[in-house]
Structure 1
Amino acid sequence: MPRLTRQEAWDLAYRATIRAGANEATARSLADATVAAELAQRPAVGFAHLKDYLAAFACGRIAATVVPEVDYPAPALIHVDAKGAIGQLGFDMAFDELVSRASTYGIAILAQRGSYTTGELGYYARRLALKELVAIAATNGPALMTPGAGTPLVYCTNPLAFAAPVEGGLPLVIDQASSATAFVNIRQAAEQGLPIPDGWAVDAEGQPTTDAREAMKGALLAFGGSRGANIALMVEVLAAGLTGANWSLDAPSFAEGDRSPGIGLFVVALKPDLLTWDFAARLALQLDRLAANGVHIPGRSAASDGTIELPAALVATLEAYLKSALPLLR
């Protein structure tokens, strides 16, 4: 597997996005997010997911050159209409104001509607934590999940992400789906011909399956049954209800057709220093105590040397795409 420097990986993602017809701002936003996901050791939503974006540009599921619209309905509220663009672009456009307003008022909220999938959700929360803010992010997408076997698909994986600054270290970042696993994990297993654990999904007949290919024809399951489904509903209300985005039931596919999924992103940013002056230091000590007791601390591990290892076949596919006159299709 070839190992790329951070800059080499960024250049590859940027050039591929420009080749797909995106404008420079879109290409920069997507390259930043793609590389960040890889460095956070979330490859399923890094370069592997970049192929989804490139195909979506080609088919019109992503508006490649539009400029999202940002407005401020209240001092601590930011509303973004992505207009079918990538979610990362609208967030980038509003980021400085989100940080500034959260720092001034103690809290600020960004509500974005009408974008393609948001990619790695932890990316949004982590960036705010690096600005000394505590952040919560929620997003939805096309319906892929059933609350329980025998019921229809009504939610996407509807993930939640949380991040907080830690003195002297990387931010605490928690990013997890409301489903038993993320869709990209099922797809990756299907592509590699690997089985999946029981309880992750059901097949087209609504029966439990460990065959990833059959799961792709069926539905993901909520984690913990109705408890996970309740969390998915809360995320749906935040990410689609409050933003004005498509409900998961109404969102077009992110992998087929020529219509944008039109999904939502909801982000809350808090300034902890306005509540307690030593928050980051206290959290650092507490996380050390938990780690000493065997607790896994999300977000602590990252690529130690800043390089990115990518499958040779994936790099070859992207390089061939850059030289080809044909669009990259999944």
Structure 2
Amino acid sequence: MTQISSIVRYTPEDAWEFAFRAAIAAGAGEAAASALASATVAAERAGRSSVGFAHLPDYLDSFAAGRIVGTAEPEIDFPTPAAIRVDAKGGIAQLGFDRAFDALIERAGLYGLAVFMQHNSYTAGELGYYARRLAETGLVALAMSNGPALLTAGIGRKPVYGTNPMAFAAPVSNAPPLVIDQASSVTAFVNVRRAAELGEAIPTGWAVDAEGRPTTDAGDAIKGALLAFGGARGANIALMVEILAAGLTGSNWSLDAPSFADGADSPGIGLFLIALSPALLAPDLPARMALQAERLAASGVHIPGQTPIADEITLPRALVDAIREHGRA
């Protein structure tokens, strides 16, 4: 770890240890702390800092408040040979995924397709993390998750869906996987909250206030609702995600999910993944993906997920101090 004025630089290993110790201090068991630390560092290294260490205090607060059961051990069953169902028992989504990871890979390899359905967990964090890990084993993956209602749809202007992100990843020969990770809202909630903390305005079209009026005031936006990207089309995608991530998994609908930041109740939300095996269905896909990615990049198209993985993690000192305050980590 290197400290320079307003920033602190970590190696990935030191960053993992910092996150692990902070989670333990906040009340997490070793399994949950390890899973969370790995996901936090992975988000930072992939350039998704808004759902990396910046999101870690939400977990730490929730361990301490009881919104996350720190010692929960996920319960796994198999409703069909190609389906894995996980009850997170009020714990973190990452640990349930870790526990089912090998079985998900094995069953996708056997049947060409496998489905992961998890309920009763805290919010999923960086959704691309789940899809990316599967793609790194050679699978094509589609992931969806819901959360407490933050996004409005229709004329009511009241929050009805979570930001309901979806992520997709595919293997690419001799290159990192292609990874797409985006919310159904115009922007992620953490970006609005960050703007509010800094006293910064947000762009027009991101959110409405509590009265349903367009706003550029981040504080008013937090009291109101986020807007879907593409209007009704984005809201339809949010509904589709909701049906798969909440309906099919048996999780709370976003309207019924307790806050991820207040109170003592778990949001109880869902995580839904489909894993497909190119080795069985289309063995030449990774090679074809490499050629296609090269062709698209030559045309100026950004290939998401293929930026270099960072070997150093740089955090604002204020964030490091805030994380340490949770348990003197």
TM-score, structure 1 normalization: 0.96
Preserved CA contact (<8 Å) 2:26 2:326 = no
Matched length: 323
Tell me the alpha carbon deviations over residues 32-52 of structure 1, each in whole angstroms, 9 at most, x when there is no partner: 000001001111111111100
Whether 1:14 aligns to 2:3 is: no
Task: Report what 2:180 is aligned to.
Answer: 174
Kindly state the Cα deviation for residue 21 of structure 1 after the two structures are TM-superposed: 1.3
Kindly state the Cα deviation for residue 282 of structure 1 after the two structures are TM-superposed: 0.5
Whether 1:317 aligns to 2:322 is: yes
Kindly state the Cα deviation for residue 190 of structure 1 after the two structures are TM-superposed: 1.1
Q: Which runs of 4+ in 1 moved over 3 A?
A: none
Task: Report what 1:211 is aligned to.
Answer: 217
What letter is aligned with 2:328? K
Preserved CA contact (<8 Å) 2:60 2:326 = no
Tell me the alpha carbon deviations over residues 303-328 of structure 1, each in whole angstroms, 9 at most, x when there is no partner: 44x1100001111222343338xxxx
Whether 1:235 aligns to 2:241 is: yes
Pick the aligned partner of 1:119 from 122, 125, 130: 125
Tell me the alpha carbon deviations over residues 135-187 of structure 1, each in whole angstroms, 9 at most, x when there is no partner: 00000010000014643211000011000001111100000011111111111
Pick the aligned partner of 1:130 from 126, 136, 141: 136
Pick the aligned partner of 2:308 from 293, 302, 313: 302
- Structure 1 Cα separation of the partners of residues 308 and 207 of structure 2: 29
Structure 2 matches for 1:232-311, cutoff 5 A? 232-304=238-310, 306-311=311-316
- Structure 1 Cα separation of the partners of residues 128 and 155 of structure 2: 29
What letter is aligned with 1:80? V
- Structure 2 Cα separation of the partners of residues 80 and 237 of structure 1: 17
SS where residue 178 of structure 1 aligns?
A: coil
Structure 2 matches for 1:16-165, cutoff 5 A? 16-148=22-154, 150-165=156-171
TM-score, structure 2 normalization: 0.96
Unaligned runs of 5+ in 1: 325-330
- Structure 2 Cα separation of the partners of residues 319 and 201 of structure 1: 32
- Structure 2 Cα separation of the partners of residues 144 and 111 of structure 1: 23
Task: Report what 1:223 is aligned to.
Answer: 229
- Structure 2 Cα separation of the partners of residues 165 and 301 of structure 1: 14
- Structure 2 Cα separation of the partners of residues 61 and 193 of structure 1: 28
Task: Report what 2:4 is aligned to.
Answer: none
What letter is aligned with 2:40? T
Q: Alignment RMSD, CA only?
A: 1.1
Preserved CA contact (<8 Å) 1:148 1:222 = no
Preserved CA contact (<8 Å) 2:72 2:91 = yes
User: Which one has a larger percent strand, Structure 1 or Structure 2?
Assistant: 2
SS where residue 154 of structure 1 aligns?
A: strand
Kindly state the Cα deviation for residue 225 of structure 1 after the two structures are TM-superposed: 0.8
Preserved CA contact (<8 Å) 2:22 2:328 = no
Kindly state the Cα deviation for residue 6 of structure 1 after the two structures are TM-superposed: 0.2
Identical positions, percent: 65
Tell me the alpha carbon deviations over residues 176-218 of structure 1, each in whole angstroms, 9 at most, x when there is no partner: 0111111111111111122111111001111111111111111
Preserved CA contact (<8 Å) 2:293 2:303 = yes
SS where residue 22 of structure 2 aligns?
A: helix
- Structure 2 Cα separation of the partners of residues 287 and 248 of structure 1: 36
Kindly state the Cα deviation for residue 67 of structure 1 after the two structures are TM-superposed: 0.6
Unaligned runs of 5+ in 2: 1-6
